[in-house]
Every structure is written in C-alpha cells, then in structure tokens.
Amino acid sequence: MPGVWINCNDKQTEEELICDVDGKGTLQSTTKWLAGEPDGSEDENCVAIPVTDEIGQMSGGWADAPCQDVFSTICQIFL
C-alpha cells in the first residue's frame, strides 16, 4: 500500500490514537478510518493515507500500517 504518513500512532497504548498536530501529542477522538481499518495489531501502529491509483489520487481516509514502512510525510507548519 503506497501512501503518505500523517503524524498519528498508537505506539504507547494499542487503540489509543495520539496525533501530534500541535506539538503536544493530543489524544485523537475523531478519526477518518477507511472501511475495514484499523486492521492491524501491535505491528501496525502508525497512520497513513493510502494512494489509491497510479496517478497518485489520495483515498481521503486513514489506514494503519507498520511504522517502518517508507512513505512520504504530510506535515503542518505553524507560522
């Protein structure tokens, strides 16, 4: 599954999603999981947005994936 990382994971506690959107690591209560996701166990602790076709269209939803997978990253810069 190619995709891009968003800065969310459940590394500390399984199924407790932490997203570092503010530099503080906030517990995330609202999610945008794709149907059937999250489908991993303790080996899929990071969150990605899958690319759904060969021209790079984004799925718009989230999927869990192993944190060691190599994807690009989406980041937010506070000005």
Provide the CATH number for the domain around residue 13. 3.10.100.10
What percent of the chain has a predicted confidence (pLDDT) above 70? 81
User: Average pLDDT over the chain, rounded to whole?
Assistant: 81
**Gap between the Cα atoms of 45 and 9, Å rounded:** 5
Per the structure, how many domains does the chain have? 1
44 vs 41: CA distance, rounded Å: 6
pLDDT in tens, 23-76: 677 777 778 888 888 887 778 999 998 887 666 666 778 899 999 998 888 776
- What residue numbers bound the domain in which 62 lies? 1-79
pTM (predicted TM-score):
0.76
Measured CA to CA, the distance from residue 35 to residue 42 in angstroms comes to 19
